[in-house]
Amino acid sequence: MKHVTVFDTTLRDGEQTPGISFPLNYKIQIARQLDKLGVDIIEAGFPMASKGEFDAVKTIANLGLDSKICGLSRIVRSDIDSALDSEVDMVHIFISTSRIQIEHTIKKSRDEIIQMAVDAVEYIKDNGRLCMFSAMDATRTEMEYLIKINKAVENAGVDIINVPDTVGVITPFKFYEIIKELRGELKIPIDVHCHNDLGLAVSNTHAAVLAGADEVQVTINGIGERAGNASLAEVVMILHSIEGIKTNIRTEYLVETSKLIERMTGIKIPPNTPIVGDNAFSHESGIHAHGVIKESATFEPGIITPEMVGHRRRIVIGKHAGRHQIKKILEDAGYSVDEEQLSTIVEKIKDLGDKGKKVTDLDLFTIAEILLGELKKEEKSINVNEVTVLTGNKITPTAVINADISGSRKVKSAIGVGPVDAALNAVTGLVGKDVRITEFRMDAITGGSDALAEVYVTVEDDVGDTFTARSAGPDIIMTSIDAVIRAVNHIIHRRKKNSQ
Ligand code: KIV
Ligand code: ZN
């Protein structure tokens, strides 16, 4: 069975995402997580770029990880020395080979470029390191020249060549042909690096592997220059589950790794992202949910399960929800309703949806509780007494909340990037470390400065169960706090109910 190695460039091309710069402690955490995930090679950075970058690459190279550590370098001696000094296992050298880049950026003859590449490879090999060579903008380079330069570095002793689709313009069929031709010309392993300018990075990487590529360059969440690089999770799951091609990736850590990068970059993963997005295994429509409750493969790929990638299947509430699904959600939350009560609940949920409301778990449970006459009996675990928020220019937004939690008075203060953030940090601080806000959305319901704000939140508990709630009001801070407290109260209420 074919085996493909995984070269992760989250810390190098990924860090070239506009607006992203990882501090050293983040880089170390990311490198450790990539190692845990089973990545074969981690491109830790571009040592010549700055002193901080050099130190970071050197620190990662000395963490004692199982993954090999690679540093990027232009084919100039000072860059290569910097990479060698950073103590990486592999130096990844690159130079432009397409007409447009040669003419406008490096202004060297093609023969000079080949000679520089050969000298660089020989120097790195003389220093006892692994060497990867990239003909930058390979997919816009004349094929004859691409073969010539790659053969020259092969003869000079390079360990692996990379074929970058630097500006993301190749298509799967054409890339297949390029890799097939190179495969026929070269004996050394071939790696590919695809950018996502036209949304084809994953498909192109897939095609390249089918054509004989031995290694894939990818990033977590597909981050990278401009529209990013091929997503590790998507490429790996295509190889494993569709092609039966192995990698060393421990797929059960894919979601965990994706969430880490989401937190560290501040770039939210869209919920409909394949494999790792919140909706990847969520079902709202009645027909789908009914099928999935009986047999998950009815409306899921089947060849990938949530467990394989460290995800969870969720049956969610919404206006498309059907009876079975609503019944299952209620039962899972500890509510038992008869057929007539269920019909009333289904009708009310659809009615809410038709009015354009995003139907939340809280709506469903509140409707059920009113119907079952339980609502008044529910003792709220958290009651907010006082909220004070300080903000202004030259003041770090700070919030202080005084609340009764299960009968005892607690006060918590927190800071944030803004007043709402500070208030929400104080709320989650009050509740303890086992809840976190995974989604927060605020809309103005009416226009003008007296607009009513509508806040949706999703709160996740320590076992990964999520709960959505909504609140509306004229004060954005109090409305936000109210929505979170509602969700948390229901999490606590549901726990109590389930343990009865
Ligand atoms: O996109 C690209 O060509 C690169 C090279 C450095 C491999 O990132
Ligand atoms: Zn790139």
Residue range 393-425, pLDDT digits in tens: 888 999 999 998 878 899 999 999 998 889 888
Report the alpha-carbon distance of residue 126 to residue 482 in Å, rounded.
Answer: 65
Domain that holds residue 327: 282-372
Residue range 90-136, pLDDT digits in tens: 999 999 999 999 999 988 999 999 999 999 999 999 999 999 999 99
Out of 76-85, 250-259, 382-391, which region has the weakest mean confidence (pLDDT)?
382-391
Do residues 84 and 141 share a domain?
yes
Q: Which among 328, 343, 372 is the end of a domain?
A: 372
Tell me: pLDDT of 85 over 80.
yes
Ligand 2: distance of its center to the CA of 229 in Å? 7
Total of domains in the chain:
3
pLDDT score, position 305? 95
Do residues 39 and 135 share a domain?
yes
Residue 417 inside a domain? The answer is yes
Helix (H) or strand (E) holding 459, with range, is strand 453-461
Tell me: pLDDT of 324 over 70.
yes
The pick from 10, 133, 136 for probing ligand 1's pocket by mutation, whose C-beta has the most ligand atoms within 8 angstroms, reads 136
What is the average pLDDT across 216-234? 98
Do residues 65 and 170 share a domain?
yes
Do residues 368 and 387 share a domain?
no
Model pTM above 0.85: no
Residue range 158-215, pLDDT digits in tens: 999 999 999 999 999 999 999 999 999 999 999 999 999 999 999 999 999 999 999 9
pLDDT score, position 449? 66
Encode 152-186: b = buried (16+ Cβ within 10 Å), e = exposed: bbbebebbbbbbbbbbbebebeebbebbeebbeeb
Do residues 38 and 181 share a domain?
yes
Helices (H), 266-416: 286-294, 323-332, 339-354, 361-372
Beta carbon of 13 within 6 Å of any ligand 1 atom: yes
Do residues 86 and 171 share a domain?
yes
Residue 273 inside a domain? The answer is no
Encode 112-133: b = buried (16+ Cβ within 10 Å), e = exposed: ebbebbbebbebbbeeebbbbb
CA distances for 92 relative to 64, 116, 190, angstroms: 20, 14, 13
Decide: 67 and 298 in contact? Cβ < 8 Å.
Answer: no
pLDDT score, position 183? 98
Helix (H) or strand (E) holding 44, with range, is strand 41-45
Tell me: pLDDT of 331 over 90.
no
26 compared with 421, residue with greater pLDDT: 26
The pick from 7, 15, 94 for probing ligand 1's pocket by mutation, whose C-beta has the most ligand atoms within 8 angstroms, reads 94
Tell me: pLDDT of 377 over 50.
no
In this structure, the residue with its CA closest to atom 1 of ligand 1 is: 166
Residue 275 inside a domain? The answer is no
Ligand 2: distance of its center to the CA of 164 in Å? 7
Match 């880490």 to its residue by tokens: 260
Structure-token pair, residue 336: 């038992």
In this structure, the residue with its CA closest to atom 4 of ligand 1 is: 166
CA distances for 470 relative to 269, 401, 484, 488, angstroms: 22, 20, 8, 12
Do residues 59 and 113 share a domain?
yes
Beta carbon of 196 within 6 Å of any ligand 1 atom: no
Beta carbon of 482 within 6 Å of any ligand 1 atom: no
- 3-state secondary structure at position 12: coil
Closest-approaching ligand to the CA atom of 162: 1
Sheet of 408-415, strands arranged across: 382-392, 395-405, 408-415
Do residues 297 and 327 share a domain?
yes
Do residues 132 and 214 share a domain?
yes
**Residue 378 pLDDT class (50, 70, 90 cuts):** very low
Ligand 2: distance of its center to the CA of 368 in Å? 53
Residue 78 inside a domain? The answer is yes
Report the alpha-carbon distance of residue 73 to residue 218 in Å, rounded.
Answer: 18
Residue range 460-491, pLDDT digits in tens: 888 777 888 888 778 888 888 888 888 888 87
